[in-house]
């Protein structure tokens, strides 16, 4: 039986993990390479690395870090942020990424999904979507949540899957950073209507939130950042809890 | 030397990283000459069967692999690499290398396809590759198709995904795994180590 995935996310800015880092900690928790190693050893099922500034200036730095992180993780590794071209995808894959997340570029240039999937396989093209509730539906936002697109999330998901996306990383902007729980309604609606896995993101605050996003939200994976960086939740403890809640988990 | 065959498809860097971690020398190569000299061969692959076979033929690697089989060099196919060992693939209806009799079939299930994530391998026969790995251990899978060998005796591990499918086979020097050992944490490392042991055991004996 396929297990549900627990996925820590490293938001990296200028070579440092920027979200939820406890700087007074003795261990330098701000180093993405060190954190990646810890999560790999603690039983994370996958790792996501997002370069949130993603300017072309520090692109080279990012590739170097991707390479270093890739040497420390022996679990699937997704890289995103500032991916604009087939060349960007290729360079990150060579650096050791297994999957590439595209967000803004996918909206601006949907053919990137199609070309990426046909060259490297759908399994390696993850479309990341930042969704914000507007009335009774959700709207796609780009540029790190700064720009509205008027595109309906549900329609967009259907389109990206048709173009060849192999996975959806779905972030609720309304829940992001609130610790009020994942957006169950949004995730369920998307997950039940697409043929590819959906990773829920935004809002994780407790053990119960994870159980709920799998049971009610029908997510295939659950992503969290600050909860893990701050050490508020240990991956091993979370997995034990979920296993006891009858949710299939990989225990290492 | 363990040689990772580069035929234009696959996450070769990840496989190399996994061997580096184990302090096992490996090299990535697309050169027929270099591949011929290998002690053991890793045949990776992600992507489509049609593109894979086309690349192999264009690079002349299909014949090299057949010659390596004749001299019984250990060969490990990973994911699409495993599937290309079979006679025929339903993916694009292509003829494959025919090293193992049988077909590659598409999942027929209500579950999401491709299967993406960690799933268990049930050991159903004594296996060299799975030595020291617990029954029902988790490995990372990404696949829409699976191998269905005619000779069921070569099936050493099976996995459930709406149906039971062959996830590990071993026939003499030909080994195949449907999952990605290079992405499967400690269990995957152990499997690659086991393959390496098979490779060097082979060398000393012959």
Residues B139-162 have pLDDT tens digits of 999 999 999 999 999 999 999 999
Q: Which CATH architecture has domain A5-245?
A: Alpha-Beta Barrel (3.20)
Residue ranges of domains in chain B, CATH in brackets:
2-201 (3.40.50.880)
Give me the residue from B48, B117, B188 closest to A2, CB to CB: B117
3-state SS of B119-183 is EEEEECCCCCCCCCCCCCEEEEEEECEEEEECCHHHEEEEEECCCEEEEEEEECCEEEECCCHHH
Digit-by-digit pLDDT tens for chain B (206 residues) are 999 999 876 677 889 999 998 999 999 999 989 999 999 999 997 777 888 899 899 998 999 988 888 888 999 999 999 999 999 999 889 999 999 999 999 999 989 888 999 999 999 999 999 999 999 999 999 999 999 999 999 999 999 999 999 999 999 999 999 999 999 999 999 999 999 999 998 665 44
Q: How many interchain CB pairs under 8 A, A with B?
A: 87
- Computed over its alpha carbons, how large is the radius of gyration of chain A? 17
Q: What is the pTM of this model?
A: 0.91
Give me the residue from A1, A74, A121 closest to B188, CB to CB: A74
In tens, the pLDDT along B54-81 reads 989 999 899 998 888 888 899 999 999 9
Query: Which positions in chain A have a beta carbon within 8 angstroms of at least one beta carbon in chain B?
Result: 1-5, 40, 45, 70-71, 74-77, 93-96, 98, 120-124, 166-167, 195-197, 220-221, 250, 252
User: Any long-range contacts for B54-63 (C-beta under 8 Å, 24+ apart)?
Assistant: B55/B7, B55/B8, B55/B9, B56/B7, B56/B84, B56/B97, B59/B7, B59/B8, B59/B30, B59/B32, B60/B32, B61/B5, B61/B7, B61/B30, B61/B32, B61/B35, B62/B97
Q: Is the Cβ pair A98, B14 closer than 8 Å?
A: yes
Contacts of B115 in chain A (CB under 8 A): 2
Residue A242, pLDDT score: 98
d(CA B8, CA B184): 22
Query: Cβ-count burial of A180 within 10 angstroms (0-12 exposed, 13-18 middle, 19+ buried)?
Result: middle
Residue B45, pLDDT score: 79
The answer, yes or no, to whether ipTM is higher than 0.90 is no
Give me the residue from A74, A120, A123 closest to B21, CB to CB: A74
Give me the residue from A74, A120, A221 closest to B185, CB to CB: A74
Q: Which two tokens stand for residue B34?
A: 């270099």
Domain boundaries of chain A, sorted by first residue: 5-245
Mutation for B interface: A7, A37, A74, A196, most B CBs within 10 A: A74
Residue A24, pLDDT score: 35
Q: Which of residues 170-199 of B touch A (CB under 8 A)?
A: 180, 182-186, 188-189
Q: Is the Cβ pair B46, A75 closer than 8 Å?
A: no
Establish whether B205 is a catalytic residue: no
Q: How far is the CA of B30 from the CAs of A44, A126, B38, in angstroms?
A: 33, 28, 12
Residue B205, pLDDT score: 47
Residue B10, pLDDT score: 66
Q: Is the Cβ pair A76, B140 closer than 8 Å?
A: yes
Nearest to A57 by CA among A85, A84, A82, A91: A82
Q: Which residues of A are catalytic?
A: 11, 130
Torsion of CA B163, A166, A241, A73, to 10 degrees: 110
B14 touches chain A (CB under 8 A): yes
Q: Which residues of chain A have pLDDT under 70?
A: 19-29, 54-61
d(CA B22, CA A111): 40
């Amino acid at each position: 039986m396929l297990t549900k995935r627990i996925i820590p996310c490293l938001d990296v800015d200028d070579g440092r993990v920027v979200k939820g880092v406890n700087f007074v900690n003795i261990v330098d928790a701000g180093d993405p390479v060190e954190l990646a190693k810890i999560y790999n050893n603690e039983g994370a099922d996958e790792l996501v690395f997002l370069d949130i500034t993603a300017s072309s200036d520090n692109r080279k730095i990012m590739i170097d870090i991707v390479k270093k992180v890739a040497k420390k993780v022996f679990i699937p590794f997704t890289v995103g942020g500032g991916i604009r071209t087939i060349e960007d995808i290729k360079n990150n894959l060579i650096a050791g990424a297994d999957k590439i997340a595209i967000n803004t570029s996918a909206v601006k240039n949907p053919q990137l999904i199609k070309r990426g999937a046909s060259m490297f396989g759908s399994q390696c093209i993850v479309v990341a979507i930042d969704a914000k509730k507007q009335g009774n539906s959700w709207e796609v936002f780009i540029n790190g949540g700064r720009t509205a697109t008027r595109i309906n999330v549900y329609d967009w998901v259907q389109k990206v899957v048709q173009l060849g996306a192999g996975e959806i990383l779905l972030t609720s902007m309304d829940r992001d950073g609130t610790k009020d729980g994942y957006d169950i309604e949004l995730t369920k609606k998307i997950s039940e209507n697409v043929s590819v896995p959906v990773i829920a993101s935004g809002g994780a605050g407790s053990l119960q939130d994870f159980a709920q996003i799998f049971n009610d939200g029908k997510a295939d994976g659950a992503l969290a950042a600050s909860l893990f960086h701050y050490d508020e939740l240990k991956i091993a403890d979370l997995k034990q809890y979920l296993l006891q809640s009858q949710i299939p988990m990989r225990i290492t | 030397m363990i040689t990772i065959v580069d035929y234009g498809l696959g996450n070769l860097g990840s496989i190399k990283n996994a061997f580096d971690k184990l302090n096992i020398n490996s090299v990535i190569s697309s050169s027929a000459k270099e591949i011929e000299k290998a002690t053991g061969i890793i045949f990776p692959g992600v992507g489509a069967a049609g593109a894979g076979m086309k690349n192999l033929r264009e690079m002349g690697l299909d014949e090299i692999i057949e010659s390596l089989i004749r001299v019984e060099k250990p060969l490990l196919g990973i994911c699409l690499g495993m599937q290309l060992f079979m006679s025929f693939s339903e993916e694009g209806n292509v003829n494959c290398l025919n090293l193992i009799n049988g077909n590659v079939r598409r999942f027929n299930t209500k579950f999401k396809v491709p299967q993406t994530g960690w799933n268990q391998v049930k050991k159903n026969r004594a296996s060299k590759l799975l030595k020291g790995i617990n029954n029902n251990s988790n490995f990372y899978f990404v696949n829409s198709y699976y191998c269905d060998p005619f000779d069921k005796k070569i099936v050493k591990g099976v996995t459930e995904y709406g149906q039971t499918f062959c996830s590990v086979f071993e026939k003499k020097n030909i080994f195949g795994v449907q999952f990605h050992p290079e992405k499967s944490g400690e269990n995957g490392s152990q499997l690659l180590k086991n393959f390496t042991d098979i490779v060097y055991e082979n060398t000393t004996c012959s």
